């Protein structure tokens, strides 16, 4: 019995350890990071609640005001508090009823405002996608830069060791040895800065995913994105047809149009107040009273000023729509130009700069070993290799950032639709 329990305990511990090792071994893709952020980000959840509130306001706008009920103790003698000695007791219910078309129009205003809020929520989702992808890009760049730094440190350690050997045997002066040592020290200093920046970038990515800022992250590689992209004209069409900010502005215009219609109705169409009273009379037969009243909306002229206000707000919304449209078109033009520039830069670094710098370094190493080239030339080649390596990484990440900026400019994660 004791051995069976111990065997069971050991088995459970092994299972837990194996599951923990699997969890630590999991890698976070950029798609996974975005999915987690969309599902857990508190900022987006707040926008969801605001959307629910806007939807609830549609029903509120279409509803009647609460009825009022009351009781009246009529003609009770002044010398008593006994209500039974009064002439009668009146029980009343009062209901205000707006002109029917007003309720419909109020509902239309609320519905259009809900649609504007819905478009704002869609834009909020895009913002979270962009923030998360940029945080992923930043951490990816820093981690890969650190890895390149370690590779370059290995290269310069080899050069330092080589020059140190020659220096101690008297084949060289200390100058070449010190040059290599200075370059190595620079790399070590850069590595320390990269480590600090990695902590900050990791915290930002975790916060967007609603995780502990210090939680460890094992990043997957970024996709290559070598496939063709849509043309500028297609992106522009996409912006005009469905950018959330444009849709929100259009919904605001429609809401203000409905609000103007409501103001005009308020100026001419009366509202009704209905009242029903049941009277209990101790010495007489009970009786009832019905009453109907309407307001005179055009009597004081107040509603004419409300119409002017609604007309002004409609013009504001229309001008804001034009402004948003111009801004979105300018943004997509600028962003697409940046995208094309970053793609060309990445292709150039990947196809030529890095390969040329690698060949130059290998050639310098070979000629230096034979004594045909001085150490300064070798150092220059190593520096060129370092710049090419980091430049290629930076161009690759900037290319990805440009794609993410396109998503923000279009107002949609078009990769899901167009990049299948």
Q: Do residues 245 and 123 touch, judged by C-beta distance below 8 A?
A: yes
What is the b/e burial string over 18-52, where b = at least 16 CB atoms within 10 angstroms of the residue's CB?
eeeeeeeeeebebeebbebbeeebeebeebeeebe
Region of 371 please: left (phi>0), alpha (psi -120 to 50) or beta.
left
What was the pLDDT predicted at 12?
A: 45
What was the pLDDT predicted at 86?
A: 83
User: For residue 245, what is the enclosing H or E element?
Assistant: helix 244-268
Place of tokens 């070590």: 188
What was the pLDDT predicted at 133?
A: 96
What was the pLDDT predicted at 173?
A: 54
> Which contacts of 189-197 are long-range, i.e. CB under 8 A and separated by 24 or more positions?
190/149, 191/146, 191/149, 191/150, 191/153, 194/142, 194/145, 194/146, 194/149, 195/146, 197/142
User: For residue 146, what is the enclosing H or E element?
Assistant: helix 100-168
What was the pLDDT predicted at 91?
A: 96
Q: In what order do the strands lie in the sheet with 88-97?
A: 68-74, 88-97, 272-280, 287-294
The C-alpha angle with vertex 330 and arms to 324 and 332, in degrees rounded to 5, equals 100
- How many Å apart are CA 94 and CA 97, to the nearest integer? 10
Q: Mean pLDDT per segment of 10 residues, for the chain of length 420 residues? A: 48 43 64 94 93 94 94 89 86 95 95 96 95 96 94 84 64 66 88 94 95 92 86 93 95 96 93 95 91 88 90 97 96 96 92 88 80 74 88 94 94 71
**Within 13 A of 17's CA, how many CA atoms are on the CB side?**
6
- How many Å apart are CA 295 and CA 29, to the nearest integer? 65
Domain residue limits, the chain: 27-65+99-270+301-418
Q: How much is the pTM?
A: 0.82
What was the pLDDT predicted at 226?
A: 79
Q: Do residues 322 and 243 touch, judged by C-beta distance below 8 A?
A: no
What CATH number was assigned to the domain covering residues 27-65+99-270+301-418?
1.20.1600.10
Residue 163 three-state SS: helix
């Amino acid at each position: 019995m004791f051995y069976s329990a111990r065997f069971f305990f050991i088995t459970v511990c092994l299972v837990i350890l194996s599951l923990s090792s699997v969890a630590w071994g999991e890698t976070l893709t950029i798609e996974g990071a975005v999915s987690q952020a969309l599902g857990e980000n508190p900022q987006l959840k707040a926008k969801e609640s605001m959307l629910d509130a806007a939807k609830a306001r549609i029903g509120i706008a279409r509803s009647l005001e609460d009825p009022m009920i009351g009781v009246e103790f009529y003609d009770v003698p002044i010398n008593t508090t006994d209500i039974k000695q009064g002439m009668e007791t009146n029980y009343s219910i009062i209901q205000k009823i707006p002109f029917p078309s007003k309720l419909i129009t109020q509902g239309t205003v609320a519905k259009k405002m809900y649609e504007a809020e819905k478009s704002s929520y869609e834009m909020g989702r895009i913002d979270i996608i962009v923030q998360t992808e940029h945080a992923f890009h930043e951490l990816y760049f820093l981690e890969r830069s650190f890895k390149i730094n370690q590779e370059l440190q290995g290269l310069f350690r080899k050069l330092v060791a080589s020059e140190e050997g020659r220096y101690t045997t008297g084949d060289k002066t200390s100058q070449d040895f010190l040059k290599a040592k200075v370059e190595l020290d620079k790399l070590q200093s850069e590595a320390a800065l990269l480590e600090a920046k990695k902590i900050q970038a990791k915290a930002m990515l975790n916060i967007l995913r609603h995780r502990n800022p210090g939680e460890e992250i094992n990043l997957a590689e970024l996709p290559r994105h070598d496939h063709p992209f849509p043309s500028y004209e297609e992106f522009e069409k996409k912006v005009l047809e469905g950018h959330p900010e444009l849709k929100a502005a259009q919904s605001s215009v429609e809401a203000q149009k409905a609000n103007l219609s409501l103001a005009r109705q308020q100026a001419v169409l009366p509202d009704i107040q209905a009242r029903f009273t049941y009277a209990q009379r101790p010495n007489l037969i009970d009786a009832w009273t019905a009453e109907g009243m309407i307001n005179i909306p055009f009597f004081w002229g107040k509603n004419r000023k409300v119409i002017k206000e609604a007309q002004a707000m409609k013009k504001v919304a229309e001008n804001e729509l034009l402004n948003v449209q111009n801004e979105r078109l300018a943004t997509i033009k600028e962003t697409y130009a940046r995208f094309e520039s970053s793609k060309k830069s990445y292709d150039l670094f990947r196809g030529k700069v890095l390969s040329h710098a690698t060949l130059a370094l290998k050639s310098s190493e070979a000629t230096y070993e034979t004594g045909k080239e001085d150490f300064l030339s070798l150092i220059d080649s190593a520096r060129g290799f370092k710049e090419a390596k980091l430049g290629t990484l930076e161009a690759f990440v900037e290319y990805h950032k440009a794609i993410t900026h396109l998503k923000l400019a279009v107002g949609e994660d078009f990769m899901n639709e167009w990049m299948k």
